[in-house]
Structure 1
Amino acid sequence: MGLLDSSGDLSAEMEVDAFRRLFPLRYYERHLAESIRPDGRPLGRARDTTVALGAVSSADGSALAKIGSTTMLAAIKMEVMTPSAESPDEGCIAIEFHMPPICSPIVRPGRPAEAAVVVSKQLSDTILSSGMIDLKELALVSGKAAWMAYLDIYCLDADGALFDAALLSAVAAFSHLQIPVVSVNDKGKIVAFTEEGDGRKLEKEAVNKEKIKLTLGSIPFSLTCALHKKYILADPTSEEESIMETLVTVVMDSSDRLVSFYKPGGPALAYTSLVTDCVALTRHRMKELEKILDEAFSGMEVD
């Protein structure tokens, strides 16, 4: 009897799996009617999220962020540069988002993923427009030296809501960032001060005596939602993103300000109330993420 039961269960499971692959939208609509998703989440709940700081020891700031299976590794490297004539008292930030083939079956070797370019621009626009970082804090000597912060984010697993996870990893990396000590070399140039590498110390005294942390302003957080008819699915998986009619990403900051509302193509929103509901879900998600970041820093202090 046990074998028959097992066989029956297996047969039923195979039928469900086949139905899911052949008629994915109908499969999801059956769940939506019950206000639940195939992974057991309520429609408005995001996946479990974790943040680990200092994931890359050779970087000046780094973090590993996971939202469900979606995984992002962010690393910041600081270099001294000559500021532009237009902004002599400001540093710069350069952001690149990478999607290597290991992150998803749809990313092919030798071909840059289309999503990588889109997410890179979104990240740059969001971080620079949010006011999280005061570029004047990156200045060293007016018109002569300033910091260039190179932020690279690597997608290790792409299972939906890529921008949300990438932004979270970027915020965590900048929160973890320690600006290096700088000194004047024998040629009179300001350079990063290192005691390791070639085994030599710079003869001139360091300009700043210790590493410095940035003073972050309003911190941006985002939530991507998949919309189908009157339903809103917060933090969609890649499968949900491929099935649902519309995707929207809401970005808010820690001052409760709406930074941006991003909708890449798709049909017009049928219900204006959907926008209000997405903002409300983002506001709730922002509080969750603030708590997660606080816990990550508390864990570092204990260590």
Structure 2
Amino acid sequence: MSIENEANASAGPSSLTPALFKRLHPKPYLERFLQERLRPDGRPLDHEHAAWRDASINIGKMFWTDAWFTWSRVWRRSVLAELAPPERAQRHPMQWKPETKGSCSIATAPSSALVRLGKTTVVCGITLEIAPPDMATPTHGFIVPNIDLPPLCSSLFRPGPPADEAQVLSSRLRDTLLSSNYVPLDSLCIERSKAAWVIYLDLICLNYDGSVLDASVLAAVAALRNLKLPQATWDVDTLSTICEPISDEEPGRALQLAETIPLTLSFGLYEDDLLPDPTLFESQLCTSQISITVSASSSRLLQVQQSGATGSKSSVEILKACLGQARTRAKQLLVLLNSS
């Protein structure tokens, strides 16, 4: 062995760059930060006052043409070209950028929203169709969410069939929207047993850095709040639905929404340290993952999902801490939603 190789082999962690040390020794890297009551992205580790990542919501402007009913998944091919790159503000690691709002320019969707939680970025586009209701629920329409995790968002995903995680996230998003009754399905009925609206929520993750479900729920809620439905009537002579495209003369009608506004907040548990809004790096090392869904308007608990062990702390103690922090964060996001 040469002298140079011997020196490299005997070099300790102190000779490694931070990026290399993080890659080779992820657990010691994280533990060094936690010992200093900090997190790798600069957030303080404070169990009493949780530090969340930057949040922003960009609401899309509605755009309709005479061929509104032909929208399907066309916007997928152009969404990346239409989205402007995020602004990068220079700031101290301990200085947090306030929540911001803006405009999302997906012209090929009746309503859209782009949400950023730290580096995690999710865009939601809504498309509409008309279909006959199910025989079992003749007065109900449909909500069909789908989350796409393309290779663009992370090296964890490969081209091909949808990843298992994408299917799980889509199912959880659907359960969240339906269990909260955020969009009453009977409000989507055009004519009993004849026609009803189908709302497709197509979400694409542009950057995957943890808490994707949180960003997806927030993007879906924001896009639904901005959606307007065209005036639609059932023609008994032609046995078809007649719709008026949205315009200045026909502004359409706002989607009927419930007072309950569901928002999901994620937590990670590393040993005895609770990490709100974990990054991808932190999530991969956490021994337990917890998702709390609350009503932003009333702070009522809607759903709890937990996986993994909680360490020396009891599950009840952990869930109480998560619920308190989730309620506080949900109120902050509600203010951001109302100002969008």
TM-score (norm 1): 0.84
Give the equivalent residue in structure 2 for 1:190.
Answer: 241
Indicate conservation of the 8 Å contact 2:128/2:199, yes or no. yes
Q: Does 1:78 align with 2:128?
A: yes
Aligned to 1:239: 281
Instruction: Give matches, 1:10-21, under 5 Å.
Output: 14-21=16-23
Report the count of equivalent residues: 274
Q: Return the letter of the residue paired with 1:275.
A: L
For residue 287 of structure 1, the aligned residue among 307, 314, 331 is 331
Q: 1:268 to 1:219 in 2, by over 3 A?
A: same
Q: Does 1:124 align with 2:124?
A: no
Contact kept? 2:116, 2:122, Cα under 8 Å = yes
Aligned to 1:96: 146
Pick aligned residue for 1:225 from 241, 246, 267: 267
How far apart are 1:99 and its partner, in Å? 1.0
Question: Secondary structure of 2:17's match?
Answer: helix
User: Does residue 1:47 correspond to 2:72, yes or no?
Assistant: no
Aligned-pair CA distance for 1:215: 2.7
What is the aligned partner in structure 2 of residue 3 from structure 1? none
Q: State how far apart, in whole Å, the 1-side matches of 2:246 and 2:219 are.
A: 29
Partner of 1:113: 163
Does 2:309 correspond to 1:259?
A: no
Query: Residue type matched to 1:123 in 2?
Result: L
Q: Which residue of 1 aligns with 2:204?
A: 154
| Residues 169-215 of structure 1 deviation map (CA, whole Å, 9 limit, x = unaligned) | 0000101111123255772411433389xxxxxxxxxxx95411123
Q: 1:38 aligns with which of 28, 37, 40?
A: 40
Identity of aligned residues (%): 35
Say whether the 8 Å CA contact 1:78–1:180 is kept in structure 2.
Answer: no
- Quote the offset at 1:239 in angstroms: 0.6
Q: TM-score scaled to structure 2, two decimals?
A: 0.76
Structure 1 residue 45: Cα displacement? 1.2
Deviation at 1:14, TM superposition (A): 4.5
Structure 2 CA distance for partners of 1:118 and 1:91, relative to 1, 3 Å: same
Is the contact between residue 226 and residue 236 of structure 1 (CA under 8 Å) also seen in structure 2? yes
Structure 1 stretches lacking a partner, 5+ long: 1-10, 197-207, 297-303
Instruction: Name 2:71's counterpart in structure 1.
Output: none
Deviation at 1:229, TM superposition (A): 1.9
Shift of 1:138: 0.6
> Given residue 115 of structure 1, which amino acid in structure 2 is its aligned partner?
E
Structure 1 residue 269: Cα displacement: 5.4
CA apart distance, 1:67? 0.5
1:127 Cα deviation from its structure 2 partner: 0.5
> 1:216 & 1:284 partners in 2: Cα distance?
23
After superposition, give the CA deviation of every residue in 1:249-280 in whole Å (9 maximum; x if it has no partner). Answer: 1110122111111123x225542311111111
Distance 1:166 1:13 in 2: 40
RMSD, matched Cα: 2.2
Q: CA deviation at 1:12?
A: 6.9
Is the contact made by 1:31 and 1:38 (CA closer than 8 Å) also made in structure 2?
yes
Secondary structure in 1 matching 2:254:
coil
Tell me which of 212, 218, 232 is aligned to 2:253: 212
Q: Which amino acid aligns with 1:16?
A: P
Q: Which residue is equivalent to 2:110?
A: 60
Q: Which has the higher contact order (CA 8 A, sep 6+)?
A: 1
Q: Is the 8 A contact 1:183 1:193 kept in 2?
A: no
One-letter amino acid matched to 1:221? L
Query: Residues 146 and 27 of structure 1: is their aligned pair in 2 closer, same or farther, counting only changes over 3 Å?
Result: same
Distance 1:291 1:193, change over 3 A: same
CA contact (8 A) 1:80 1:192 kept: no
1:11-36 deviations in whole A, cap 9, x for unaligned?
97843333222221112112112221
Matches of 1:84 and 1:112 in 2, distance apart? Answer: 27
Judged with a 3 Å threshold, the aligned counterparts in structure 2 of structure 1 residues 176 and 269 are, in CA distance, closer, same or farther, namely farther
CA contact (8 A) 2:182 2:261 kept: yes
